[in-house]
Amino acid sequence: MADEDYQDRTEQPTPKRRAEAREKGQIARSRDLNASLVLLTGILLLSWWGPWMGYRSAAMLRDCLTGLRPGLLTVQTAPALLVKFASLAAALLAPVFLGLVFISVLANYVQGGWIFSTQRLTPELSRINPWAGLKRMVSGEAWVELGKSLAKVTLIAVVAYFSLRRQLPHLLPLLRQGLGQLFIFLKAGALHIAGRIAIALLVLGLLDYLYQRYRYEKSLRMTKQEVKDELRQTEGDARVKARIRSLMRQLATKRMLTEVPAADVVVTNPTRVAVALKYDSRTMVAPRVVAKGQGFIALKIIALAQEAGVPQVENPVLARSLYRLVEVGEVIPVSLYRAVAEVLAYIYSLKSRVGGSP
């Protein structure tokens, strides 16, 4: 992606954006780091297992040459001999092979964890588009890769040059030594040079991994609009949610107001707060709040109570307490039993005077 595409991407990636990138197989991973670790592991394994491999290989060759005789290799015996030599060679190479596979898997796991994705295997027409390929060839990423390749070649050349320069004084005395001494020196020198090159490449690989991490985080950045769109997708449009909440409140208010005509008393403050109470000694353990409100809702409750002939009692302290402590549909708390009982007793006495029944 070109640098200008990142100019507006100022926001840090969200967890959802990171999860989607992992599902597509996009993680920060350095191939140079993997290659350098595999190379260094191979050198260490050869330095440790190499002498035994040489000894066993020489023994195999000696047995083969010693046992040569007419008629040994025939159509019938050839498969068995090939299987024997292949099994011996596999046993010699198995530690090196398994070690390289293990370190390769470990290096990939440490960099990005376990990940399985078929997204990269899906054919994309853009990959075979000549114009897109030409743009990739002259992009900033291509120049970075070219610089990395030149740096690797230069680093290998410099390390090899100085390592060979230090070994040159030891080469002349070998002219008077036997072939075995020469082979041992060349083997040790080759492993020494290869080890130093592998360490230098490992340092370069670590730097490349840091660059890949930076480039990966930069590619995941989001614009402010993308963050808003993702929030809207995951949590819903704020305006729609607000509208839904408003409709739900309206429906709840309508259901609540239908209970006002059946209330026994409405406690007011006197017009800012109104709480409607209902009590039936046969079905309720305590009086229950069937409606409450303040402001316009309080005026609506009072108006409905007047239309239905529900008594009203002005008690600011009790009205505020009921409104603050009790939700619609709940019974009153014990702390308000006494005050509510006095109000209900007053209402029942009024009904008795006019010939009504409580």
The pLDDT, as a whole number, for residue 122 is 62
Considering the domain architecture, whether residues 223 and 279 belong to the same structural domain is answered as no
| C-alpha span between 241 and 248 (Å, rounded) | 11
Considering the domain architecture, whether residues 224 and 265 belong to the same structural domain is answered as no
Considering the domain architecture, whether residues 183 and 94 belong to the same structural domain is answered as yes
Considering the domain architecture, whether residues 84 and 186 belong to the same structural domain is answered as yes
pLDDT in tens, 178-205: 666 666 777 777 788 888 888 888 888 8
The pLDDT, as a whole number, for residue 140 is 67
Whether residue 241 is contained in a domain is answered as no
pLDDT in tens, 221-262: 888 887 777 777 666 566 767 777 778 888 878 888 888 898
Question: Measured at the alpha carbon of residue 336, what is the angle toward residues 335 and 341, in degrees to the nearest 5?
Answer: 130
Considering the domain architecture, whether residues 31 and 97 belong to the same structural domain is answered as yes
Q: Average per-residue pLDDT in the chain?
A: 79
* Residue 135 scores a pLDDT above 80: no
**Residue 302 is inside which H or E element, if any?**
helix 296-308
Q: Please state the φ and ψ torsions of residue 266, each to the nearest 5 degrees.
A: -120, 120
Considering the domain architecture, whether residues 127 and 222 belong to the same structural domain is answered as yes
Considering the domain architecture, whether residues 102 and 197 belong to the same structural domain is answered as yes
Whether residue 183 is contained in a domain is answered as yes
First to last CA, the chain: 81
Task: Locate the DSSP E strands across the chain.
Answer: 265-268, 273-278, 288-294, 312-314
Contacts (Cβ under 8 Å, ≥6 apart) of 273: 292, 293, 294, 298, 316, 319, 320, 323
Task: Locate the DSSP E strands across 163-219.
Answer: none
The pLDDT, as a whole number, for residue 141 is 73
Considering the domain architecture, whether residues 75 and 118 belong to the same structural domain is answered as yes
Whether residue 163 is contained in a domain is answered as yes
Task: Provide the domain count of the chain.
Answer: 2
The pLDDT, as a whole number, for residue 1 is 43
Whether residue 161 is contained in a domain is answered as yes
Among 94-108, 114-128, 156-170, the range with the most confident prediction by mean pLDDT is: 94-108
Domain boundary residue, one of 232, 266, 301: 232
Considering the domain architecture, whether residues 21 and 165 belong to the same structural domain is answered as yes
Whether residue 14 is contained in a domain is answered as yes
Considering the domain architecture, whether residues 109 and 13 belong to the same structural domain is answered as yes
pLDDT class for 107, splitting at 50, 70, 90? confident
Whether residue 237 is contained in a domain is answered as no
Whether residue 246 is contained in a domain is answered as no
Looking at per-residue confidence, does 14 or 170 come out higher?
A: 14
Considering the domain architecture, whether residues 269 and 308 belong to the same structural domain is answered as yes
Considering the domain architecture, whether residues 210 and 349 belong to the same structural domain is answered as no
The pLDDT, as a whole number, for residue 277 is 92
pLDDT in tens, 332-358: 998 888 998 888 888 888 777 665 444
Domain of residue 347: give its range. Answer: 258-353
Whether residue 180 is contained in a domain is answered as yes
| C-alpha span between 81 and 66 (Å, rounded) | 15
pLDDT in tens, 268-278: 987 689 999 99
- Supply the CATH number for residue 298's domain: 3.40.1690.10
Looking at per-residue confidence, does 170 or 46 come out higher?
A: 46
